[in-house]
Amino acid sequence: MIADHPPLAGRALDRDAETRADAGRLSAAWNDSAAKLLRLRGVEVPVVGGAPDGAGGPRLALIPTTGEFEAAGPDQHARHLYLGRVDGDPVFAVAVSQRGADDVDRDGAPRAAGAGAGETAPSDPASPPAAGLPGEEWRHPFELADRLPEAEREMIAVASGLVRWHESARFSPRDGSLTEPRLGGWMRRDAHGGEHFPRTDPAVIVLIEHEDRVLLGSNALWESGRFSLLAGFVESGESLEQTVAREVFEESGVRLGEVEYVASQPWPFPRSLMLGFRARLAEGADPLDLSPDPEEISELRWFTRDELRSPAAGITLPMPLSIARWMIDRWVAEGDRDPASAEGAGDAGGSAGSGAASGPSERDRAVADPDETAVALAEGAHGE
């Protein structure tokens, strides 16, 4: 059963803007006995459960909130971030250090080298707030997020986006002055009252179809046989539809006709918003006239539903967490509901390659397939 929305795009998490805007409510939420805290260690999150055979799905290792709510730590590094509510219960997040328990004070703050109790390291942007749960393991979200409950996947997405933003937004882009976290971590204010909010970079991702086949591309940075939908970032002064036409032509040489919006997916690793479209070739266009951009794409290939339903050995499709996979699975399922769909209609098969192509630009590498190198994505490989 294909969900009616892409992963990470549900409504299980109530962002509760009223609480984040009120210091009293924020403190009360933190001290709520049902409040939970999600820790992030770099790009990793702690999980419990989930047997190797897939029995008993994993869950986030959420811990109770303790002490007092802290908007900022030393040097205005963001501390506690308010994510919202799940089933009415408050949920917060915090970035933690990768150092061991011996390196933290009793209140969870990082201890300076050689420091005694109560002395902390003011330059450390992250600190463990408390001990974790028995048996917890730190895992990259891409390894298991499609197996987590929808609310927990949304929590990871929001927390990851906020943490990554705070890491790069401590100083005002206006004058370089130090900013301070406000609104439960959803805004930073500079010394002159300027307000700065989390940045999101929109990118389109396109399912191109022709006579019961879809066009997929392979980024030269990936291993051979990995395919996904074509994608790219929206440029200044450009509409989404203009981006679709431009990116597809630049990467494949294909001219498009009908373009239709499908759905969107937050991809805050670190700050993208994926906007999904379906498109068809322009009237009279030759599906075999493919021209991969030698700077970006190593291979282009048309796939039938059967080829995507049961990929041949050596073919890798996007991971289940991505909107690319959701759109592909949705398209395949349409054929399952319509047996009259002509799998072999037309002669749109075949592929085109550019040989030793170098792969997409820095920005496009991160969105051509969210299943690309996880750490590179989380560290912002798509550039500024």
Mean pLDDT of 28-57: 86
Are 279 and 320 part of one and the same domain? yes
Q: How large is the greatest C-alpha to C-alpha distance in the chain, in angstroms? A: 76
**Is 7 domain-assigned?**
no
Are 180 and 296 part of one and the same domain? no
Which band of pLDDT confidence, cut at 50, 70 and 90, is reported for residue 127?
Answer: low
Are 156 and 57 part of one and the same domain? yes
Are 150 and 291 part of one and the same domain? no
Are 50 and 101 part of one and the same domain? yes
Tell me the per-residue pLDDT of 96-111, one tens digit each, with 9 for 90 and over: 987 543 333 333 343 3
**Is 101 domain-assigned?**
yes
Domain boundary among 196, 227, 248: 196
Are 160 and 213 part of one and the same domain? no
CATH of residue 207's domain is 3.90.79.10
Tell me the per-residue pLDDT of 201-222, one tens digit each, with 9 for 90 and over: 999 999 999 999 999 999 988 8
Are 122 and 227 part of one and the same domain? no
Give the domain range for residue 123.
17-196
Are 187 and 258 part of one and the same domain? no
Domain boundary among 142, 166, 196: 196
Of residues 27 and 131, more confidently modeled: 27
Q: How many domains does the chain have?
A: 2
Q: Which two tokens stand for residue 203?
A: 């990118």
**Is 10 domain-assigned?**
no
Mean pLDDT of 327-344: 76
Are 51 and 156 part of one and the same domain? yes
For residue 145, pLDDT beyond 50? yes
Are 226 and 343 part of one and the same domain? yes
Are 27 and 109 part of one and the same domain? yes
Average pLDDT, the chain: 82
pTM score, whole prediction: 0.81
